[in-house]
């Protein structure tokens, strides 16, 4: 599917179903299951590499996995994450790294943060690189944010996220991922801008939803060095495999639940 079709879908009120994907076999399965967007997320640092966070993922990792996903799903829109350190310092380096992801098969690149990143977004968009912004909880800043915490709970922080979303939208980004923010704030942002929003832990009123696929299948039990019994899935996760009999059916059930707005329910939202 092309970006224009995805935007029309959002404008017509049809919810966009996005999932993370890191390899060709899952990409093919997801394309057949009707997933609208595949996100090659740097969450691969956690779910594929067994790390505690995304901080050690490199552009080599991201381009390697993007190539595999693009091979498996030639007809699906692919967004790929820019890894920590690949876009923050200067716009030319950001451009080179974004170009590397596009040459690897991504249709759009995603990076985290508002503020000074708005200029980076505008720089890339003006040079023909489609950009997805990522606001709210931004995993690459986990140390600065003091852990995996909901963002936008105070008036000041909610205002900041809204302000960043408007600025990113004006800079021309194609989508805005909103992670772990109160559902009411995500709705306010979605209503305030033309750019479609994709929520994860951000309530049902975003233009679409994304989940980490290993979470959706109930197979992620925390970093490799930790005992699985110590791990508790975040509130926004639902195991779609539990009530189905195959991975394909679980993915199809996720797509259906996003489209008919039964996921996320109140119990998955903040
Ligand atoms: O890396 C990732 O998978 C992401 C999603 C959680 C949105 O950024």
Query: Looking at ligand 1, which atom is closest to the CA of residue 212?
Result: 3
Closest ligand 1 atom number to CA of residue 43 = 1
Q: Is the CB of 212 under 6 A from ligand 1?
A: yes
Catalytic residue among 14, 31, 99, 179: 179
Domains in the chain and their CATH numbers?
Answer: 3-268 (3.20.20.60)
The whole-number average pLDDT for the span 29-55 is 98
Q: Give me the chain's average pLDDT, please.
A: 97
Report which protein residue has its CA nearest ligand 1's atom 8: 41
Q: Model confidence over 70-107: pLDDT tens digits? A: 999 999 999 999 999 999 999 999 999 999 999 999 99
Please indicate whether residue 81, judged by its CB atom, sits closer than 6 Å to ligand 1.
Answer: yes
Q: Is 41 in the pocket of ligand 1 (CB under 6 A)?
A: yes
pLDDT-derived band at 37, boundaries 50, 70, 90:
very high
Question: pLDDT tens across 106-153, in order?
Answer: 999 999 999 999 999 999 999 999 999 999 999 999 999 999 999 999
Q: Which atom of ligand 1 is nearest to the CA of 54?
A: 1
Cβ of 112 less than 6 Å from ligand 1: no
Per-residue pLDDT, 236: 97
What does the DSSP assignment read for the chain?
A: --HHHHHHHHHTTPPEEEEE--SHHHHHHHHHHT-SEEEE-TTHHHHTT--SSSTT--HHHHHHHHHHHHHH-TTSEEEEEPPTTSSSS-HHHHHHHHHHHHHTT-SEEEEE-STTHHHHHHHHHHTT--EEEEEES-GGGHHHHTSS-----SHHHHHHHHHHHHHHHHHT-SEEEEES--HHHHHHHHHH-SS-EEEESS-TTSSEEEE-HHHHTT---S-TTS-GGG----TT---SSTTSSSHHHHHHHHHHHHHTT-SS-GGG--
**83 in contact with ligand 1, CB cutoff 6 A:** no
pLDDT, position 120: 98
**Substitution site in 16, 66, 179 for ligand 1 pocket (most atoms within 8 Å of beta carbon):** 179
Q: What is the pLDDT of residues 206-244, one digit of tens each?
A: 999 999 999 999 999 999 999 999 899 999 999 999 999
* Residue of 16, 37, 39, 131 to mutate, ligand 1, most atoms within 8 A of C-beta: 39
Q: Is there a catalytic annotation at residue 179? A: yes
- pLDDT of res. 209: 98
Residue whose Cα lies nearest atom 4 of ligand 1: it is: 41
Q: Which of 210, 211, 220 to mutate to test the pocket of ligand 1 (most atoms within 8 A of CB)?
A: 210
Please give the model's pTM, rounded to 2 decimal places.
0.98
CB of 171 closer than 6 angstroms to any ligand 1 atom:
no
Q: Which atom of ligand 1 is nearest to the CA of 41?
A: 1
pLDDT band with cut points at 50, 70 and 90 for residue 187: very high
113 Cβ inside 6 Å of ligand 1: no
């Amino acid at each position: 599917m092309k970006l224009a079709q995805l935007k029309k879908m959002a404008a017509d009120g049809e919810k966009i179903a996005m999932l993370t994907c890191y390899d060709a076999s899952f990409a093919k399965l997801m394309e057949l299951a009707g997933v609208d967007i595949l996100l090659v997320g740097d969450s691969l640092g956690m779910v594929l590499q067994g790390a505690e966070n995304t901080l050690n993922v490199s552009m080599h990792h991201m381009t390697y996995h993007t190539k595999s996903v693009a091979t498996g799903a030639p007809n699906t829109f692919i967004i790929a994450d820019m890894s920590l350190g690949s876009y923050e310092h200067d716009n030319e380096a950001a451009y080179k790294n974004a170009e590397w992801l596009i040459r690897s098969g991504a249709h759009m690149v995603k990076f985290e943060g508002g503020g000074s990143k708005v200029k980076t977004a505008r720089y890339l968009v003006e040079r023909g690189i489609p950009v997805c912004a990522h606001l709210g909880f931004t995993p690459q800043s986990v140390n600065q944010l003091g852990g995996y915490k909901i963002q936008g709970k105070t008036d000041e922080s909610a205002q900041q996220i809204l302000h960043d979303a408007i600025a990113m939208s004006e800079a021309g980004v194609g989508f805005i991922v909103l992670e772990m923010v109160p559902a009411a704030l995500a709705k306010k942002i979605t209503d305030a801008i033309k750019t479609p929003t994709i929520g994860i832990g951000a309530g049902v009123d975003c233009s679409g939803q994304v989940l980490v696929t290993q979470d959706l299948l109930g197979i992620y039990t925390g970093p490799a060095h930790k005992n699985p019994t110590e791990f508790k899935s975040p509130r926004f996760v639902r195991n779609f495999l539990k009530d189905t009999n195959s991975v394909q059916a679980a993915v199809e059930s996720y797509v259906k639940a996003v489209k008919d707005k039964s996921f996320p329910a109140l119990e998955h939202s903040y």
